[in-house]
Amino acid sequence: MGGEAAESVRTIDKYSILLPTYNERENLPIIIWLIVRFMDKSGFPYEIIVIDDGSPDGTLDVAKKLQEIYGSEKVVLRPREKKLGLGTAYIHGIKHATGNFIVIMDADLSHHPKFIPQFIEKQKLGNYDLVSGTRYAGSGGVYGWDFKRKLVSRTANFLTQLLLRPGASDLTGSFRLYKKNVLEKLVESCVSKGYVFQMEMIIRARQLGYSIGEVPISFVDRVYGESKLGGSEIFQFAKSLLYLFATT
């Protein structure tokens, strides 16, 4: 009887999709339209949480219009006054998420929402703690990058694999699905910021014994706006890689 009662009150899985934004006014209407299209089609309950970090280009105004179009239950606005970093954006988003699963992705159209239902199916198949999109396995790939950018990404991934043996094929990607409680613990345990933050999340997941599933994805370079990866990020990556090697 107790087992039947427990079964009857089991919650339906809900997916909170976190979209940290900074100067994404051109991309935001497209990415939200695509998320709504593929998530509505999938039938999974969801919400989109937009975390804008005081974008000077009017991203928040666009987000407010989108909330009027799709409704405040589907598009949730949780802005901040200024740019405070990706890790704190996730903490802020998690705090307001009502789903028991969290999807993190970029708002610049480099991550296609059509893969989210695939992440969900993969998670259910193996009850994974996290599912990561990979550009470097199966049918995954990168489109729109020049040779230099591809070389930097491949080299970063190769060095990380060599030094840290993470048990995942793509460490620097930022398109993932997490169990909410797992993401909370990982964010708490991470010390890195910026470009390296995603890499450390996978390393800490391995360290804490969490299970990792992978789904091949097509990564497309941003359509509008400027890339946020530069020389300082590459230097920070090298520095953080050595730190993780020394501490894990």
Assigned domain for 131 exists? yes
Rg, the chain, Cα only: 18
Residue 117 lies in a domain: yes
- Are the C-beta atoms of 131 and 118 separated by less than 8 Å? no
Split into its structural domains, the chain has a count of 1
Domain extent for 14: 9-247
Q: Which two tokens stand for residue 103?
A: 């999807």
Range scoring the smallest mean pLDDT among 89-93, 152-156, 174-178, 186-190: 152-156
Q: Which two tokens stand for residue 140?
A: 């995954």
In a domain, 74, yes or no: yes
User: Under DSSP, is residue 91 helix (H, G, I), strand (E, B) or coil?
Assistant: helix
Does residue 1 lie in a domain region? no
Residue 69 belongs to domain with CATH number: 3.90.550.10
Q: Please give the Cα distance from 54 to 246 (Å, whole number).
A: 36
The answer to whether residue 150 sits within a structural domain is: yes
| Between 213 and 10, residue with greater pLDDT | 213
Instruction: Using a cut of 0.95, tell me whether the model's pTM lies above it.
Output: no
Residue 156 lies in a domain: yes
Residue 2 within a domain: no
| Distance in angstroms (rounded) separating the CA atoms of residues 182 and 179 | 5
Residue-wise pLDDT for 72-103, tens only, equals 999 999 999 888 877 788 889 999 999 999 99
- Residue 231's pLDDT is 52
Q: Among 134-138, 206-210, 229-233, which is the least confidently predicted range?
A: 229-233
Within a domain: 43: yes
Q: Which amino acid is at 26?
A: E
CB count within 10 Å of CB 60 equals 18
Q: Which residue in 91, 108, 17 sits closest to 55, CA to CA?
A: 108
